[in-house]
């Protein structure tokens, strides 16, 4: 049997995050709906970049952010995602490796440029995102490194990447290899609009046990079951998946198993600056705990700790060592 080299391997969109503070009138002038994520084309991407203010550029994408959080917790993380052999592609690769994540997916030599997401943060901490997916959507089954998958305790799939056919096939290939090696497969539902598009397929992934664990927030859960009542949706969820984690912002999270539900409180925060990456970093904490054999409550607390750290500053990556914070709060040795 292949020995474990990575605690968690994430597969998702390889995106460069371009993060800037802005005012609500800028969103209005640009025709953006506050708090939403819009997919844009290359021309719109260039126009927004010219109009927006000073920005911070970092490697991003939901699953990529999660793997960086896992590395910050002192766990072994890897990432598979597609960039182009261009300036932003080089920046993505350098940045994620510098954060301690193994990234070895070959860049594309032709086709669309590297993806980027413009994250506009208003004074209340809310983020409005405009994403050009570019090369990220060209992930192919050939990009799945079977040895890396088999050597990873948990495979973490990003729902945002479920749109392209080749990426779906890549996910399914990875899940099959993982299960053959006795590993766990997790899926984040990513976004309520994503669930609206792929509800039946996501449910099939769960019911067929192609995935063993899902992450969802309340909006995604309601969308998944088209139910307005939270308890009804949770009951349906319990029947469809071995383990699910439902995040509820300041209310904490629920870890839903076949026979029990563990409610885990959120960590208190002094001030919410930017909610970008909260769900991604929650998943990082939970998965890092899971890969190390922690119980549900400890996994949930690690997730809450990581999410609390990231929402108190600009950007979707931790600025403090999550490993040190976990030690200070008694969640790690």
pLDDT in tens, 168-222: 999 999 999 999 999 999 999 998 989 999 999 999 999 999 999 999 999 999 9
pLDDT over 70 (residue 46) = yes
Query: What is the rounded CA–CA span in Å between residue 83 and residue 282?
Result: 25
The domain in which residue 275 lies consists of 6-12+62-112+134-328
Mean of per-residue pLDDT scores for the chain: 93
pLDDT in tens, 5-14: 999 999 999 9
Residue 25 lies in a domain: no
Query: What is the rounded CA–CA span in Å between residue 120 and residue 157?
Result: 25
Residue 58's pLDDT is 85
Domain count for the chain, please give it.
Answer: 1
Residue 170 lies in a domain: yes
Query: What is the rounded CA–CA span in Å between residue 55 and residue 112?
Result: 23
Residues counted in the chain: 333
Query: What is the rounded CA–CA span in Å between residue 233 and residue 30?
Result: 36
Residue 47 lies in a domain: no
pLDDT over 80 (residue 131) = yes
Q: Could you tell me the CA-to-CA distances from 283 to 52, 112, 119, 260 in Å, in that order?
A: 30, 29, 20, 20
Task: Find the radius of gyration of the CA atoms of the chain.
Answer: 18
Residue 43 lies in a domain: no
pLDDT over 90 (residue 305) = yes
Give the pLDDT mean for 310-326: 88
Higher-scoring residue by pLDDT: 105, 331? 105
pLDDT over 90 (residue 271) = no
Give the pLDDT mean for 107-135: 92
Residue 176 lies in a domain: yes
pLDDT in tens, 258-267: 888 999 999 9
Higher-scoring residue by pLDDT: 294, 332? 294
Residue 1's pLDDT is 65
pLDDT over 90 (residue 36) = no
Write the CATH number for 101: 3.40.1190.20
CB atoms within 10 A of CB 254: 21
Residue 261 lies in a domain: yes
pLDDT over 90 (residue 19) = no
Please report, to the nearest 10 degrees, the dihedral formed by the alpha carbons of residues 113, 82, 66, 307 taken in order.
20
Residue 57's pLDDT is 85
Residue 287 lies in a domain: yes
pLDDT band at 37 (very low <50, low <70, confident <90, very high): confident
Per DSSP, what are the bridge partners of residue 131? 39, 117
Residue 308 lies in a domain: yes
């Amino acid at each position: 049997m292949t020995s474990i080299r990575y605690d968690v391997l994430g597969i998702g969109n390889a995106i460069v995050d371009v993060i800037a503070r802005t005012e609500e009138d800028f969103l209005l002038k640009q025709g953006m709906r506050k708090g939403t994520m819009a997919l844009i084309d290359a021309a719109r991407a260039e126009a927004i970049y010219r109009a927006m203010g000073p920005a911070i550029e970092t490697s991003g994408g939901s699953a990529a952010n999660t793997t960086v959080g896992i590395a910050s917790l002192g766990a072994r993380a890897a990432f598979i995602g597609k960039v182009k052999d261009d300036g932003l592609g080089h920046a993505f690769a350098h940045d994620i490796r510098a954060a301690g994540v193994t990234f070895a997916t070959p860049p594309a030599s032709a086709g669309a440029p590297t993806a980027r997401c413009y994250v506009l943060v208003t004074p209340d901490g809310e983020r409005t995102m405009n994403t050009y997916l570019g090369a990220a959507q060209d992930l192919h089954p050939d990009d799945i490194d079977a040895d890396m998958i088999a050597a990873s305790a948990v495979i973490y799939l990003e729902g945002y990447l479920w749109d392209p056919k080749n990426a779906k096939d890549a996910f399914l290939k990875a899940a099959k290899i993982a299960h053959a090696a006795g590993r766990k497969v997790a899926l984040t539902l990513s976004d309520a609009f994503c669930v609206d598009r792929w509800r039946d397929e996501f449910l099939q992934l769960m019911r067929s046990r192609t995935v063993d664990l899902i992450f969802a927030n309340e909006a995604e859960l309601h969308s998944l079951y088209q139910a307005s009542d939270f308890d009804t949706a949770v009951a349906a969820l319990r029947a469809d998946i071995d383990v699910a984690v439902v995040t509820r912002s300041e209310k904490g999270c629920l870890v839903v198993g076949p026979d029990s539900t563990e409610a885990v409180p959120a960590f208190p925060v002094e001030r919410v600056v930017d909610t970008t990456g909260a769900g991604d970093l929650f998943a990082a904490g939970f998965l890092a705990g899971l890969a190390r054999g922690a119980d549900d409550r400890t996994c949930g607390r690690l997730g809450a700790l990581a999410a609390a750290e990231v929402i108190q500053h600009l950007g979707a990556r931790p600025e403090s060592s999550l490993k040190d914070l976990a030690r200070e709060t008694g969640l790690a040795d």
